[in-house]
Structures are given as structure tokens and as C-alpha cells.
Amino acid sequence: MLHNKTVEDLLDIKEIYLEPEVRNYKRGEEILAKYPEANLIEVPSHWKIPELHGNQGSIEDWTKIKRNVLVLGIKKSLSCRANTRSSHWVAPSQSNGCTMSCSYCYVPRRKGFANPISVFVNIDQICNYLRRHAAKQGELKAPDHIDDQYWVYEIGENGDCSADAAICDNVKDMMNLFKEIPNAKLTFATKFVNREMLTYDPQLKTRIRFSLMPHKMSKLVDVRTSPISHRIDIINDFVDAGYEVNVNFSPVIFYEGWIDDWQILFDEINDKLNEKSKKQLIAEIIFLTHNQQLHEVNMGWHPKAEEVLWRPELQEVKYSQTGGRNVRYKRGFKGDLVETLVDMVHEQLPYCPIRYAF
């Protein structure tokens, strides 16, 4: 856990891997000027950096890379992928990778297991693509479970935008873009409290989703993130600053005493959120999905977390949409767990609708 919630504790960039063309972009120049002491290492592609591979050993190596290394590249292929849960579309990434180290994270580790932040400097191209894409959609034909009025674009599928915003203005630029797009808004989930984002003035065109779970479990599995209480504490401020603020109850992990711990979390939400925040709150519920390869990697740096994440007696194989072999709680067992938590939300947070639960 990141008990001191300053950006400086999360990021201390000492090495920057960059594609040579990065210097031709204004955003590239800005980032390089921000870290003048960093050691610059040119690479042919942000995807292929052999030096970052194989660091699946000690926690020291893992988190050191997350904190000290930044990758700069150019996003080559721009496309939107249709989605049906938190958004209508997944936007082209303005970054991928993350400085945090949640032990259950299954974002593909193709850049090496530690997978530090890679920032794409061609943000103008990405924004222009999104402007054109949204224009082609016309008006949202009818309200749906995703939004009552707008097409919603997910911009943080492969990382955490609150941390990205501490490096450069990519996220701010995308927020400003969607203020100008009449028929769309953006969304992203986060586990990091970045107070600087309270100054961005999103004008209700950005939906930020704070990921929450019981404190006890978060301290074990949410490595290098803002504490759960800090995330709850900031919700009223983000609502007042012009954000739509939702919550992700995810990943939901089964363990002895899990219901009591969720009750404690719900009590804290009830106590801390004001009426304005409660009135606009919506929850998403996602139960744990795990992966054997990730389990084996985690055993090398955080085996304690695997005692709750890897439970073969309770889990079954599930193939993802991309063909990955994952595990989730067994079907009937999981159904009971989902029903239990959904009932608790309805009872304990009656003002908070559920967008989806699975």
C-alpha cells in the first residue's frame, strides 16, 4: 500500500526508454524536459525492450522498475473496440502499463513482467481519431445501462489514468477533448488519488470509477496504491469538481470473513459520502479472475497474496474472449457469492444502483 499518497512516492523516473521519433512530438519534448536527469535509452520499439524482461523475481526489482522506469513511444494503430459493460467503446490507449503492482492484475505483460508505464506521445493524433469516431456515431439512440445520454469511451483499460496524469497532460487533453464532443463522455477506473485532477474542470463529461474493496484485503493485494480510505475520502471532492464518480467493487475475493469486511466498507461509504455524491453513485461489481501464469510469477515476489487469490478447490477454468486460459470461482459457488454481495449493496447502499455484477 502507498500510505503516503504523494506522486513522488509513486514515481521517481531514473530511466526512460524511448523510440527516437518521440523527440519529434511536443508531448515527447515536454516529458523529456520534465525528467532532465533521467538516463535515456533509445529502442526501436516500445513493444520490444529485452532489458525489461525477466524481472519476475524479487519484490525489490519488480517495484523498482515500476517506480524508476518510463517508456515513451508512438501509438501506431488507432481503433476503437466495441464494449458492453462500463463503456460503449474502448478508446485507443494513450498509455499502457502501470506504476502500481496489484497482485491480481492480468493486464498483458508483453513488455516484461513488471510492465512500467508506457506513454504515447502522439496524443493529438489519438484525440483527432476519437473526435472523428464520435462524430460518426450520432446521438445515443436510447438510454442504456452504460449511460442515459452519451456514448461512453473507456480510456484506461491498460493502465491507471490518475497515475498517467502525474507524468504528462495526455489525460487532461482527453478530458478537454470530450468537453467539446457533444455526444460522448470518457471513463476510467483508478486506484490512485491524484488531487491535481481536481483542477481539470471536466464538466460532467468524465466518469471516474474508484476501485474499492475491504481494507484488510486491499492491504494484501493492492500493492503501491492509495489506501481505500483515501479513495473514499476524495469522492465528495471529485463530485464537487465536476466529475461523475462511480465505484468499482473489484476484484471481489472470497475468504473467511469476507461478508463482515464488506459490511465495514459499506458503513464507511455511508458515513463519508454526502447526499450529492450518493445521489449520482453507481456501482460495478467484478469478482476475481486469476491466471496460472500470473500465479506462478506472483509466487516469486508476493506468495502471501496467492493464499487468497489461488484457490483451486474453489475455482474452474474460464477462457477469455482473447483465448487466454484463466480461472474464476466455480459457477454455482460464484452465483451464490454474486447474489450475496448484490443483496448487500441493495440493502446497505440503497441509493446506489448496480450497473453490472459478474
Cβ neighbours for 161, distance < 8 A, ≥ 6 positions apart = 95, 155, 171, 188, 190
Cβ neighbours for 175, distance < 8 A, ≥ 6 positions apart = 186, 200, 202, 205, 206
Output the CA–CA distances (angstroms, integers) from residue 11 to 35, 57, 98, 319, in the order listed: 11, 21, 11, 35
Q: Determine the Cα angle at 306 with ends 300 and 312, to 5°.
A: 120
Cβ–Cβ < 8 Å for 55, 116: no
Residue 1 is predicted with a pLDDT of 42
Cβ–Cβ < 8 Å for 151, 137: yes
Read off the pTM.
0.95
Cβ–Cβ < 8 Å for 242, 204: yes
Edge-to-edge strand ranges of the sheet holding 325-329: 289-291, 325-329, 315-319
Residue 8 is predicted with a pLDDT of 79
3-state SS of 56-112 is CCCHHHHHHHHHHEEEEECCCCCCCEECCCCCCEECCCCEECCCCCCCCCCCCCCCC
CB atoms within 10 A of CB 172: 19
Backbone φ and ψ of 353, nearest 5°? -65, 160
Each residue's pLDDT tens digit, 159-168? 999 999 999 9
> Whose CA is closest to 223, among 162, 304, 145?
304
Each residue's pLDDT tens digit, 187-240? 999 999 999 999 999 999 999 999 999 999 999 999 899 999 999 999 999 999
Residue 298 is predicted with a pLDDT of 82
Domains along the sequence of the chain with CATH:
7-357 (3.80.30.30)
Residue 324 is predicted with a pLDDT of 73
Residue 112 is predicted with a pLDDT of 61
Peptide bond into 20 cis (omega under 30): no
Each residue's pLDDT tens digit, 244-291? 999 999 999 999 999 999 999 999 999 999 999 999 999 999 999 998
For residues 84-100, average pLDDT: 95
Report the number of secondary-structure helices (H) and strands (E) in the chain. Answer: 14, 16
Cell of 64: 523498482
| Helix, strand, coil percent values for the chain (each to nearest 5) | 40, 20, 40
CB half-sphere exposure, 311, CA atoms < 13 A: 18
Rounded CA separation 14/106 (Å): 26
DSSP state of 113: T
